Amino acid sequence: MNTAAIRQLIDRARQHEAGSQALAQFLQTQLERLHPAIRLPAENAGATLNAFVVAYIEQVPDVLDAAATVASEAGIERVIRPVLQVAEQFFLQPPALMAGHNGLEGLLDEAYLAHRLVEEVNDRYIGHLGQPLIPLDTTRANLIAHQLIGEPFANQLDEAVHHALAGLLDDASFAQPSVQAYRERLAAPGTVAAWQRWPCLSQRLGVELRLPQER
């Protein structure tokens, strides 16, 4: 994993933001357009949203490093490494549709790709094994990011994720004799405990998303 290169990209983007304030200006224009289900604190709403986006971006290399470590300890590295490499490449070699997207605003798109990849992989593991491969609660954070990126571009990013997964995980992947062993390792207390330090990102940063069933 080359997460050091991802962190360098993020550092450069943050330095650019310090001078340009491009992300802050973009988010300020989004405040009045946010879906009412997205709730921000009454005070410092813009700063809270900015902190959410920066943390959403910065969490990607942390998650990739943590996932690689947990996978190695749990003995599931062979399965998880290809997924992590695809997420890494979204940053280091972004798809052509990302051309012209720069700074932290551009990295928001790339972080969305990486987080959505993890979400889709988890959905497939839940469907086949009853539990996620990488048990992170990113659904709400991804929905908020989708809203900020806006349609139709966010939908195009979703399609890029589906395309990336097309040859990575299919039904045959879960038909291997070793799958049961992976299921047991995923459920092992040590593996579960290793992930418990990753709370829901959106709630931790003070951005709430009220889903329909919670009304």
Full residue range of the structural domain in which residue 135 is found: 3-214
Neighbours of 122 (CB within 10 A): 20
Band the pLDDT of 196: cuts 50, 70, 90. Answer: low
Handedness of CA 69, 9, 138, 81 (dihedral sign): negative
Q: How many helices (H) and strands (E) does the chain have?
A: 10, 2
Query: What is the helix, strand, coil percentage profile of the chain, to 5?
Result: 75, 0, 25
Q: Give the best-scoring range by mean pLDDT among 14-18, 30-34, 165-169, 196-200.
A: 14-18
Q: Give the CA angle between residues 141, 167, 6 to the nearest 5°.
A: 45
Band the pLDDT of 212: cuts 50, 70, 90. Answer: low
Q: How many domains does the chain have?
A: 1
Note the pLDDT of residue 22. Answer: 92
pLDDT value at 215 more than 50: no
Give tens-digit pLDDT for 146-163.
Answer: 999 988 999 999 998 988
Note the pLDDT of residue 110. Answer: 92
Q: Whose CA is closest to 73, among 171, 183, 191, 197?
A: 191
Of the listed ranges 41-45, 120-124, 205-209, the one predicted with least confidence: 205-209
Note the pLDDT of residue 69. Answer: 79
- 3-state SS, 96-113, equals HHHCCCCHHHHHHHHHHH
Give tens-digit pLDDT for 81-93.
Answer: 888 898 899 888 8
Determine the Cα–Cα distance for residues 25 and 13; give it in Å rounded to an integer: 15
Determine the Cα–Cα distance for residues 113 and 157; give it in Å rounded to an integer: 6
